[in-house]
Amino acid sequence: MTIHGGLWRVHASAVDDITLITDSLGWLCGDKDGVQVQRIKSALGAPMYCLECKMSAKVAKKSLRKIDSVSLLEWLSQGLQSRIDEDKVLHIRIGLDGLVMGTPTIVKDNNYGFVKGKFKLEVYPGQIPHDIAETLIKDVAIK
């Protein structure tokens, strides 16, 4: 399987089109009803929203397949070491603008408007998380 499950999260301001973002995130996750929308306050008190969608392993893999394969392979060539944390979670970011247009692509961390993804890698003793992540990305990029 290579992953246990995944999560996509978007932080949006009160002026963003929450319905459009919810629909787009639902498409990415394969389940519009699975998107949870929570109204929160920013650090400065302004209203904002946190949209989240949790996925099982099978659904998470399908979700990753919707990302542009060229950007996935380019991201892979830059190395995934820094994208895997101590809990064996692969962190990925896609552009919010690309998502709402139906063409999600990988973006750099310093871009404004992105969707955060966390994918728990299925790693057993003796296996290297980096190798598992590489296998996963190659598998989903070569649909």
pLDDT of residue 110: 67
- Kindly state the DSSP code that residue 83 receives in the 8-state scheme: G
> Is the distance from CB of 94 to CB of 117 less than 8 angstroms?
yes
Give me the residue label for tokens 């310093």.
110
pTM reported for the whole predicted model: 0.91
Domains observed in the chain: 3-141 (3.30.1440.10)
Task: Tell me how far CA of residue 60 lies from CA of 42, 46, 77, 105, in angstroms.
Answer: 29, 32, 22, 16
Per-residue exposure over 6-32, b if at least 16 CB sit within 10 Å of its own CB, e if not: bbbebbbeeebebeebbebbbbbbeee
Give me the residue label for tokens 């404004």.
112
**Tens digit of each residue's pLDDT (9 = 90 or more) over 88-138:** 999 999 999 999 999 999 997 666 789 999 999 999 999 999 999 999 999
- Judged against a pLDDT cut of 90, whether residue 14 lies above it is answered with no
